[in-house]
Amino acid sequence: MLSNDILNIKGKILILVCCAPCCCGVVDFIAKNKIDVTLFFYNPNIYPEEEYIKRKNEVIRIAKLYNIPFIDTDYTPEDYAQSTIGLGYCEERGKRCDACFLLRLTKTGIYARDNNFDYFTSTLAVSRWKSLEQVSNAGKKAEKISHVPYLDINWRKNGLQETAHNIIKEQEIYEQDYCGCIYSFKKRKNNLG
């Protein structure tokens, strides 16, 4: 579904947000359309902790700017380590990312179920570096586990990327140069030489 389709949805939506650059266009759209959405920050994949805090604080800044509820979770890198055992060798968009998406979306779905949300979704595939299909598949699996409907939304259309670009510039939002985990961090470092 496209972002405009969410306007026909009735009920409370929980949205997993990964970082401010990916979520700001979505949050702007949600606020302008008065959609009942709560932001959920569960990203144990992010390494190191200083980076986690930096990304989280930027998302909190966006949530406050638009007056959208924000739910924080603890930093639990052991969750990510456990879920990706033996997958460190995988390339980005491979099995390690499948496990990473599933972990984060399952937690979101279960939180939605336990806290009376009607749906859940995410900003994981906002970036064109991510596979829409991979995130969508993980969302469907998380839906089966949590028994809460997953809204499979393509946020890349309807001008949201242009909006995000402008907000990032205006608000001077921190833009990271690696996906998040220790493997992507090391790869970025190696590429920089």
Contacts to ligand SF4 by CB under 6 A? 45, 92, 96-97, 100, 179-181, 183-184
Q: What is the dihedral of CA 106, 110, 116, 120, to 10 degrees?
A: 0
Compare residues 28 and 121 and give the one whose CB is closer to ligand SF4.
121
Give the whole-angstrom CA distance, residue 191 versus residue 193.
Answer: 5
Contact residues for 97 (Cβ-Cβ < 8 A; gap 6+): 90, 131, 134
Contact 134, 102 (CB under 8 A): no
Compare residues 109 and 180 and give the one whose CB is closer to ligand SF4.
180
Compare residues 22 and 151 and give the one whose CB is closer to ligand SF4.
22
Q: 130, 131, 108: which is closest to 120 by C-alpha?
A: 108
Closest contact distance (angstroms) between CB of 49 and ligand SF4 is 15
CA 161 vs. chain centroid, Å, equals: 15
Give the whole-angstrom CA distance, residue 143 versus residue 106.
Answer: 8
Compare residues 38 and 184 and give the one whose CB is closer to ligand SF4.
184
Closest contact distance (angstroms) between CB of 18 and ligand SF4 is 9
Compare residues 3 and 122 and give the one whose CB is closer to ligand SF4.
122
The angle that helices 95-114 and 132-146 make with each other, rounded to 10 degrees, is: 40
Closest contact distance (angstroms) between CB of 92 and ligand SF4 is 5
Closest contact distance (angstroms) between CB of 178 and ligand SF4 is 8
Closest contact distance (angstroms) between CB of 185 and ligand SF4 is 9
